[in-house]
Amino acid sequence: MRRNARIIQINGFRGLLTALFIITCLAAGFIAFPGFVAMNIWNYFAGSNVPQINLYQGILLWAIIFLTYFIATKQRVAVSFASPRELNEEELKTLMERVKMQSQARMINKMILKNLEENEKISQNASDNEINKETKL
């Protein structure tokens, strides 16, 4: 079982800027640039017989070419979504033991903190009583 398996971790404003930069670069490399190339190829071969296209229409042309290629070749897209596999008996047993140990540790920590708070209150009351006795004398 993987512990702390984080594929993407974005921390703070700097992490958001980095993620935005990565997404922008990927979009430029895989969408905008091929769309720009498709637009230039279309405009070069179109000549005066067919209207010229802009970058947006070049991106749409690239999407049509891309989707047609994948439909025609019947290849699977690289992105896939899968449900996580189920735990077997041994993994489930170790997980339940860890949960039990953590709950016991949490309960012991609460008891220790409560005891420390009570000891602090008692010592505070004792010091207050000593101060009160000294002021009365």
**Every domain of the chain and the residues it spans:** 9-76, 87-137
| Residue 4: predicted pLDDT | 61
Residue-level pLDDT at 80: 61
Quote the tokens at residue 104: 């016991």
Torsion of CA 80, 86, 88, 92, to 10 degrees: 130
Query: Is the sign of the CA dihedral 80, 83, 84, 85 positive or negative?
Result: negative
Tokens of 83: 């449900």
CA atoms within 13 A on the CB side of 80: 7
- In terms of C-beta density within 10 A (0-12 exposed, 13-18 middle, 19 or more buried), how is residue 36 classed? middle
pTM of the prediction? 0.47
pLDDT of residue 3: 61
CB 62 within 8 A of CB 34: yes
Task: Quote the CA–CA distance of 113 and 20 in Å, as a whole number.
Answer: 44
Q: Which residues of 45-63 are buried (b: 16+ CB within 10 A; e: fewer)?
A: eeeeeeeebeeeebbebbe
The confidence score (pLDDT) of residue 82 equals: 65
Mean per-residue pLDDT pooled into runs of 10, the chain (137 residues) = 63 86 91 93 86 92 89 71 75 90 92 90 82 70
